[in-house]
Amino acid sequence: MTLGNMFKASVCADTERVVPISQMRKLRPQRFLVFLRYQCYYEYPLLTYLEYPILVAQDLILLLCVFHFKGDVKQAAPYIVLCVSAWFILTLQKWIIDLAMNLCTFISAASKFAQLQYLWKSRDSGAVSAATWSLASYTCAARIMTTLMTTSDLTILIRFVIMLALNTWVAATILHYQKTDVKSE
């Protein structure tokens, strides 16, 4: 089986553990794009946001691959147009970039609450990794420290504090349900 066929099989699989394309393509690349544009707009040091251009490119390439293996690359055009136009629209006014950044924090928090709600309802942590969520928590803690040392931007600090708390909560919930699963066996 070629790499392309394995990718296509995983994308097209009809299981609950595979994220549907409609969910994957919604706002993830745009959140990275907003964060990247925010950092550029305020002329923060490149090292404080160096990973975001890579993350944006990675998500757009993944999106193109998904559409390619689904057989309809033309459907990716609106998302690419949205990203390119957002790059310019975000900085038309200062309040637009600030509002977008705050909305991204809200959307990220909402997605973590949705993950928590799923875990509470299903009481099954088998589809998610505590290590991944713990690494996300560690990343937020590190970003808090680097933000304090470089820019002290309150918006970014609030974002990372909220994400640290929620990522830690998700990791703890996963560990709780993993222990429950082990005890019941």
Least confident of 4-8, 110-114, 179-183: 4-8
Which range of 32-46, 74-88, 167-181 scores highest in mean pLDDT? It is: 32-46
* Average confidence score pLDDT of the chain: 80
Condensed to tens digits (0 to 9), the pLDDT of residues 21-32 reads 445 445 566 788
Share of the chain above pLDDT 70, in %: 81
Q: Is the pLDDT of residue 183 over 80?
A: no
- Those residues whose C-beta lies under 8 Å from the C-beta of residue 32, and which sit 6 or more positions away, are 52, 55, 56, 59
The pLDDT of residue 5 is 44
Q: Is the pLDDT of residue 10 over 80?
A: no
Condensed to tens digits (0 to 9), the pLDDT of residues 103-123 reads 989 988 988 888 888 888 888
pTM: 0.74
Q: Is the pLDDT of residue 14 over 90?
A: no
Radius of gyration of the chain (CA): 18
Q: Is the pLDDT of residue 185 over 80?
A: no
Condensed to tens digits (0 to 9), the pLDDT of residues 158-180 reads 999 999 999 999 999 998 888 65
Place of tokens 């959307």: 107
The pLDDT of residue 125 is 75
Nearest to 64 by CA among 11, 17, 107: 11
State the Cα–Cα distance between residues 63 and 35, nearest whole angstrom: 19
The pLDDT of residue 162 is 95
Handedness of CA 31, 159, 17, 132 (dihedral sign): positive
Confidence class for position 96, pLDDT limits 50, 70, 90 = very high
The pLDDT of residue 87 is 86
